[in-house]
Structure 1
Amino acid sequence: MVDSNYLFKDECYKIIGCCMDVHSNLGCGFLESVYQEALELEFIRNFVPYEMETPIDIHYKGVVLDKKYYSDFICYNDIILELKAVKSIEDIHVAQLMNYLKASGKKVGYLINFGSVSLQYKRFII
């Protein structure tokens, strides 16, 4: 049996390393879009496969709604990243990521905040 706490361990380690590199170079204070662009460059340099702004279908009683969620990144086809550039991670941010995971059927997600003095990140597994 696989311990779910270590699901995609190597991949997650590489992703967080890229995030740390971005934060150590840019620090806090930029818009989320700046961190997203810089992180994309780190993913390319570190051979992290990703999709950016991927639409996620939302199903309601068997019908796919016209409205979509758009995740900041899906890495390795399995790990959702939701980026923030805020003072601190709040419950509403957690709820957003949990909805992305539920709607996509993915098991692992990271909430990553570049807006604080040190990089904040939380891993979620469903």
Structure 2
Amino acid sequence: MPLDSRFTPITEKIIGCALRVHGKMGSGFQEVIYQRCLAIEMEKAQLLFAREVEMPLFYDGHEVGARRVDFLVEESVLVELKALTEINDSHYAQVINYLNAYELEVGLLLNFGEPSLRIKRFVKSQQSRKTNHSPQQ
């Protein structure tokens, strides 16, 4: 099933911004540098976003803690950044868990640490039907 069409324009804009950042900066910087650059590009693209959003985590109706997400874009798309030489299943699990915990439908994992920008798109409704938790490319 394709990505819900209401999220497509947002994710396309975010990915375009990330590609511009990676194109100008390359790999090799700390995550916070890419986060600041991406914020500049998303402002230029007129995306509404919040950076370093602390969101509560709930278990069985009880707040059990909080986690910070790198970006929440248009109040609907979670964006997690990495600056690693390689991403793995634990990074995928982080995004999937955040989507579930925050009741969001779409997330992007962007890794700036590789020679080419690595982009993984997650759609919660698709993840619940998969057994291996592999993200949508």
Q: TM-score, normalised by structure 1?
A: 0.93
**Percent identity for Structure 1 against Structure 2:** 37
Deviations 1:41-81 (A, max 9, x none): 1111111110111112111222112x211100010110000
Structure 1 unmatched ranges of 5 or more: none
Deviations 1:4-27 (A, max 9, x none): 524411111110000000000000
Superposed CA RMSD in Å reads 1.1
Bigger shift: 54-63 or 19-28?
54-63
1:90 alignment partner, one of 72, 88, 110 = 88
Alignment of 1:71-86 (within 5 A): 71-86=69-84
Deviations 1:79-103 (A, max 9, x none): 0000000012111101111111011
Tell me which residue corresponds to 2:3. Answer: 5
Look up the SS of the partner of 2:87 in the other structure. coil
Bigger shift: 88-97 or 56-65?
56-65
Look up the SS of the partner of 1:5 in the other structure. coil
Task: Judge conservation of contact 1:4–1:125 (CA < 8 Å) in 2.
Answer: no
Tell me which residue corresponds to 2:105. Answer: 107
> Distance between the aligned counterparts of 2:59 and 2:103, measured in 1?
14
Tell me which residue corresponds to 2:35. Answer: 36
Count of aligned pairs between the two proteins: 123
Alpha carbons of 1:62 and 1:84: their partners in 2 closer, same or farther (altered >3 Å)?
A: same
Amino acid at match of 2:123: I
Task: Judge conservation of contact 1:52–1:73 (CA < 8 Å) in 2.
Answer: yes
> Distance between the aligned counterparts of 1:98 and 1:112, measured in 2?
14
Amino acid at match of 2:119: Y
Q: TM-score, normalised by structure 2?
A: 0.86
